[in-house]
Amino acid sequence: MNNQSDLEKTERKTFTLAYRDGLWDLAFACMMIGHGLGLLTDQSLFALVILLGPLLMILGKRYITTPRLGYVRFSTDRKRKLRTIRAITIIVSVLVLALFISVLTGHRPSRALIAPLLTAGITATLLLVAWYIDFKRLYLYALLIGCAVGLNEFVSLQLGGTMYLASGIMTLSVAIILFIRFLRRYPVQDINDPFQENHHAVS
Amino acid sequence: MQSPEDRKANLPAIDDIDRIIHSPARLIVLSYLEVVEEMDFIYLMNLTELTWGNLSVHLRKLEEAGYIKIEKSIVQRKSRTTLQITKEGRTALQQYREQLRPIVLDE
C-alpha cells in the first residue's frame, strides 16, 4: 500500500473527470481548423474561429458541464498548477495569434529564426501542458499541431494548412463523440439536495 | 518475514477498526473528499457511481460521525449541497489506513 501514490491517483481521477465532456478537444479543434482555413484561404477572418474555441469551452463548462457533472474545488496544489497553465496558455496563444496575424498581413519575421523556434516552442509547450494537467489526448494534439507547424514552416504553407485542417477535423470528431457520450452518461441533475427526501435502505 | 504467531500478536484488534470508515462506499467517499477542498453532491455521485439515495445515506452517517461537513446553499436559483472532509475525518482516515496496513501487508 503506497499512500502517496494512491492519493495522487485518486486526485488525478477526480480532476480528469472534467475532461470527459470533450470541450477541451473542441477548443483545440477550433484552433487547428481556424489556423488551417486561415493558411489555406489567406483570410485573417478565420482567426475568429480560433477564438471561438475558448469561448465555447467557457460557456459549455458553465451551462452544460457543471449542471451535469457538478462542482468541485481542487486542492491548493492543483489550483497552483492550473494558474501556471492558464498563464502559459494565454502567453503562447497571444504570441501565436500575433504571429498568425502578422503573417497574413504580410509582416513576416525572418523564417530562419522563427521556423525552428515556433515548431519546437509550440510542441514543447503543449506537451508540457498535457503533462501538467494530466490531459492524455493533448499529447496527440501536441504532436499533430507540431507536425502542422513544422510542415507550414519548413515545407509549404499549403501543406501546413492542410495538416492543420485535417488534424482539426479529426479532433473535432473526437470532441463531438465525447460530447455526445458525456450528454448521455451525465444527464442534468435536478436534485442537489439529497437530504430533502426519503432514502432507500443501505446494506 | 514474521512467523504467523508474531504476525498474529502484532495485529491490531479487529474491533478497534473504525466501522464507520470500514465500508467500501464510505471509504471511497472519504478518499475522494480527502484530495479536494470541497465538492458538491453531484460531482461525488458521478465519481463514485453510487445512486443518490445510497450516497446520501452514507453521507449522513459520515456527517453524524463528524467526518464530513455538509453545507447547503443556493447557486443560480438551484440548491447545492457542498461536502468537505473535516479534520477529524482526515485523522480517522489516516488512522484507519495505519490500522489496516499490518493486516493487509506482511509487516
Least confident of A23-32, A100-109, B87-96: A100-109
- The reply to whether residue A10 touches residue B34, judged by beta carbons under 8 angstroms, is yes
Higher pLDDT, A53 or B15: A53
Identify each DSSP E strand in chain A by its residue range.
72-74
User: Residue B45: its chain A contacts at CB < 8 A?
Assistant: 70, 189
- pLDDT recorded at residue A60: 92
**pLDDT tens sequence across B55-67:** 999 999 999 999 9
Which domain CATH number covers B100?
A: 1.10.10.10
> How far does CA A149 lie from the centroid of its chain?
17
DSSP A107: -
Query: Taking residues A167-188, what's their average pLDDT?
Result: 93
pLDDT of residue A82: 76
Strand order in the sheet with B36-40: A72-74, B36-40, B78-85, B68-75
Question: Among all chains, which residue has been given the C-alpha cell 492524455?
Answer: A136
Domain that holds residue B77: 4-104
pLDDT tens digits along A2-19 = 566 677 777 778 788 878
Where do we find the cell 453510487? Answer: B50
Check: CB of residue A160 under 8 Å from CB of residue A149. Answer: yes
Q: Answer whether A119's CB lies under 8 Å from A143's CB.
A: no
- Cβ-nearest to B36 among A69, A73, A193: A73
Prediction pTM value: 0.74
Average pLDDT over residues A55-64: 90
Task: Write out chain A residues lying below 8 Å of B104, CB-based.
Answer: 1
Residue from B46, B60, B100 to probe the interface with A (highest A Cβ count within 10 Å): B46
Question: What per-residue confidence (pLDDT) applies to B85?
Answer: 94
Dihedral angle over CA of A18, A23, A27, A32, nearest 10:
110
Task: Tell me which of A55-64, A94-103, A124-133, B29-38 is least confident.
Answer: A94-103
Q: Searching chain A, which residue's CA lies closest to the CA of residue B31?
A: A10
C-alpha pair distances (Å), A85 with each of A39, A80, A110, B17: 27, 9, 29, 42
Cell of B77: 436559483
Q: How far is B77 from chain A (nearest CA, A)?
A: 11
Indicate the pLDDT class of residue A191, thresholds 50, 70 and 90. Answer: low
CA terminus-to-terminus distance, chain B? 8
Q: How far apart are CA B52 and CA A191, in angstroms?
A: 9
pLDDT tens-digit profile of B70-89? Answer: 998 888 778 889 999 999 99
In the structure, what pLDDT confidence band is assigned to residue A1 with cuts at 50, 70 and 90?
A: very low
pLDDT at A198 over 50: no
Beta-carbon-side half-sphere exposure of residue A57 (alpha carbons within 13 Å):
20
- Whether residues B35 and A192 touch (CB distance < 8 A) is answered with no
> How many domains does chain B fold into?
1
pLDDT at A80: 78
Contact A37, A19 (CB under 8 A): no
Q: State the amino acid at position B105 in one-letter form.
A: L
* Record: contact B81-A189, CB cut-off 8 A: no
**Helix or strand (DSSP H, E) at A102:** helix A76-104
Short-list A122, A127, A175, CA closest to A151:
A122
pLDDT-derived band at A175 (thresholds 50, 70, 90) equals very high
Smallest Cα distance from B56 to chain A, Å: 6
Integer CA distances (angstroms), A160 to A78, A100, A119, in order? 35, 13, 12
**Cβ <8 Å between B57 and A200:** yes
Establish if B81 touches chain A: CB-CB under 8 angstroms: yes
The pLDDT, as a whole number, for residue A199 is 45
Q: What is the structure's pLDDT at A202?
A: 43
Of A85-89, A177-181, A192-196, B51-55, give the lowest mean pLDDT range: A192-196
Q: If you average pLDDT over every residue of chain A, what do you get?
A: 81
| Best residue in A192, A195, A197, A203 for a mutation probing chain B (most B CBs within 10 Å) | A192
Higher pLDDT, B5 or A117: A117
- The pLDDT of residue A44 is above 70: yes
| Whether the Cβ atoms of residue B44 and residue A17 lie closer than 8 Å to each other | no
Chain B residues within an 8 Å CB radius of A13:
47
Spatial contact of A33 and A165, defined as CB atoms under 8 Å apart: yes
For residue A144, what pLDDT is reported?
A: 92
